[in-house]
A and B are shown apart, each in its own frame.
Chain A
């Protein structure tokens, strides 16, 4: 046997062994979180409630749930228990250091500013140091969005479980992302032209569906989008995949609603600085909005009406809102994905009910992205993405004391923890 083969055989044995070690606790362990104030989100809070987890799934939630004899008990007396938080707008794992180009993987060139076939999560780095800080503060699922162009590409929702990207993906794609607020970015010079271009893409996709044979024989007119991009748009025009439009200005939101109506699309508004000016219409059209609660600056002529009351006004009008980071100049989408808690707290300070703010970082995003059968609430059959908090999850003093992702508790130190520990002693080892 050569050295190479010997090493390979040993490696295979080791990995098989490692698999057993890893898989066993998750698969067989039963965990009972007892005594806490449990917020199932899908139902009313339960004082002194119990959550039972087996095989990575929630199997029981309630006030009088029997605790299995073999269960590891987590005493949550005096604590708050919620579903893991979902951050619906991130570039986690796609951007490590913003100004280093080879650590940025969230934008595709596309053809003519259309990159519908771009599957952004395929480039995600599961070893990113950005992941652990988010998980440590109670974020257990996240949506990754592509950016740029007119059609940016496809979004996915992932769990912050350890493993490969394949292990992490919960559902992909969950939306097609388009940015219709910026004419220049779409390769046009006016809003109306940009809208025409989007409508042309939708028309071409419909035509492509019914003329595929001719297309394959090169017997159709030319399309400005590539074949792959047209293919990727099919579920959008068929109403199976939501179109997530990134848009701030009221008139742009209005245009998006018209397009969605004309083509019978499933629409999500993202950004939505001026969405509160359209709250009634968005509610009537059952269009959800992803927006933040920490920006009130008329930062450009497309966002003159930006205000912190936006999520409160929208949810009061009946719009399903997912809270996202909105004011950090960018790093709220990677380095500070954890600050979604702060966003929720501020939403409450500016008029959203606390219950709706909790929904806006758990159940509502799960519903918006079609994964409410997996995450977003504490009820039997759901994945065990559960957080035990020392108190109100949105308060700064509160700690996420136990974070479970698919039933596995995560406790690793972050790179930031390691740096802090190293310099706690001064001057320390590095004189």
Chain B
């Protein structure tokens, strides 16, 4: 029995931040002078000075070609294919349809009338940075020492042996964005991880995924810093803090862009925090902004416009449904819970129809997120609750549409919708086999493939991923 103070503690210490993904192949350094690709300022220009000091070492698990047949395929790209087949080779989806060719040596899975979906994407996770068994020793998600800490990177807090990882995988989640917590106005960089066993966080990093920047609105920064003389202690103090940070970042960006233009004289001194913010200004890092209230989201949109950056997604957008049209027009995603609310004033207006109310606006990007190691394991159930609420509100919502809230829309928020989030030819073979309709409460995940390799099989417990921590500590049977 956990009490609500758990949530209070968690939120006081939780925050999210960034992940940044520049391609692992290009690592210009200011000293080498080889960063000729780094061009002019502005959105889309190249990063600098060191784009990828902690590169991904992820290697997909080798696996034979795979064909899953006689299975209902919810593709997230179109209507469900009844009794179809999907074929996988070299980690990619080769074909999907009513029938597919079976390559020599392929593993054949008879879907037996069950369901396959894309691997689920959770855009708001703190796995690894708030690891179990918890406590201050493993509380590594909020660098709550300054209201603006764009210099910290979530990946430097991730514990790969957090036992929450295998449980999330068993819930069908194959990609997560791990964010710093929300104590700070600017919390730091997020990291996008594949939910796979690894000794190092580098081994989990999604190759080529962009980093994100975690920002937080409203009550959390106010509360955490409200007792300090330099605050912020108010929402207006929050906004002054964001703007000050961006003013400094803008000056830093110009300094570096000027130097990069001709490499004349000594390069400017690096500043880790401003470097991250400058990358946002250049469009190389995606902003993920914790923001509950509709009016406050509008404030953040104005700030982004003032400094010329884009917000990719509002997280915890409890009031996203109130400004769904604005979000769609701005091209900003709404990452929301299905039914959490009222744990604080800014969460007071939570409604279960939030997802469908956002989704019905053309151009919108509605997605579910967890922010919670338990919720992450059953995002399908969260979507089911939201879908039902939308139908009760009189909206017409199909399962195929709702599926997108936990797959392709979430992949879009991470800038990865060209690689994951749907079952289409050429995409990464992240697949989940469900025992029945994924939106039934009784349905369970039976198998999960990441890049074509089966990493979870419900019925083969000997092969279940057990983290180092679990060995010996976590009982598996009664004695």
Contact = CB atoms under 8 A, between A and B. Distances in A.
B61 interface: no
Contacts, number: 167
Interface of B: 1-8, 10, 132-135, 163-164, 167, 219, 223, 321-322, 324-325, 339-345, 348-353, 357, 361, 372-375, 377-378, 381, 384-385, 387-389, 392-394, 439-444, 469-470, 473-475, 478-479
B216 to A, nearest CB: 15
B7 A305 contact: no
13 contacts: A98-B4, A100-B344, A100-B345, A130-B342, A277-B478, A297-B164, A299-B132, A305-B475, A346-B381, A348-B442, A396-B388, A396-B440, A424-B394
A335 B350 contact: yes
6 cross-chain pairs, A with B, having the tightest CB-CB distances, nearest first: A330-B4, A345-B441, A396-B384, A271-B1, A327-B374, A99-B344
A297 B8 contact: no
Given A330-B8, A397-B388, A424-B393, 16 more contacts: A97-B344, A98-B343, A270-B1, A298-B469, A301-B133, A304-B473, A324-B1, A326-B2, A333-B3, A334-B4, A346-B441, A394-B441, A395-B442, A396-B387, A399-B392, A430-B322
Nearest to B444: A349
Contacts of A99: 8, 219, 223, 343-345
B224 to A, nearest CB: 12
Nearest to A430: B322
Contacts of B443: 349
Interface in A100-139: 100, 130
Contacts of A96: 342
Given A97-B345, A395-B441, A416-B350, A423 B321 contact: yes
Nearest to A343: B441
Nearest to B390: A420
A384 B137 CA distance: 52
Q: Dominant SS at the B interface? A: loop
A394 to B, nearest CB: 6
A345 B380 CA distance: 14
A203 to B, nearest CB: 27
A103 to B, nearest CB: 9
Nearest to A179: B1
Contact of A97 (B322, B324, B348, B389): B348
Interface residues of A, number: 61
Most buried by A among B392, B441, B444: B441
Contact of B357 (A130, A330, A423): A423
Given A335-B341, A419-B349, A299 B4 contact: no
Most buried by A among B10, B372, B442, B444: B442
B72 to A, nearest CB: 17
B134 to A, nearest CB: 5
Contacts of B393: 420-421, 424
Interface string A194-238: 000000000000000000000000000000000000000000000
Interface of A: 89, 91, 95-100, 130, 147-148, 246, 270-271, 274, 276-279, 290, 294-301, 304-305, 324, 326-331, 333-336, 339, 342, 345-346, 348-349, 394-397, 399, 416, 419-421, 423-424, 426-427, 430
A95 B4 contact: yes
Nearest to A89: B1
Contact of A335 (B322, B343, B392): B343
A339 B339 contact: yes
Most buried by A among B4, B223, B387: B4
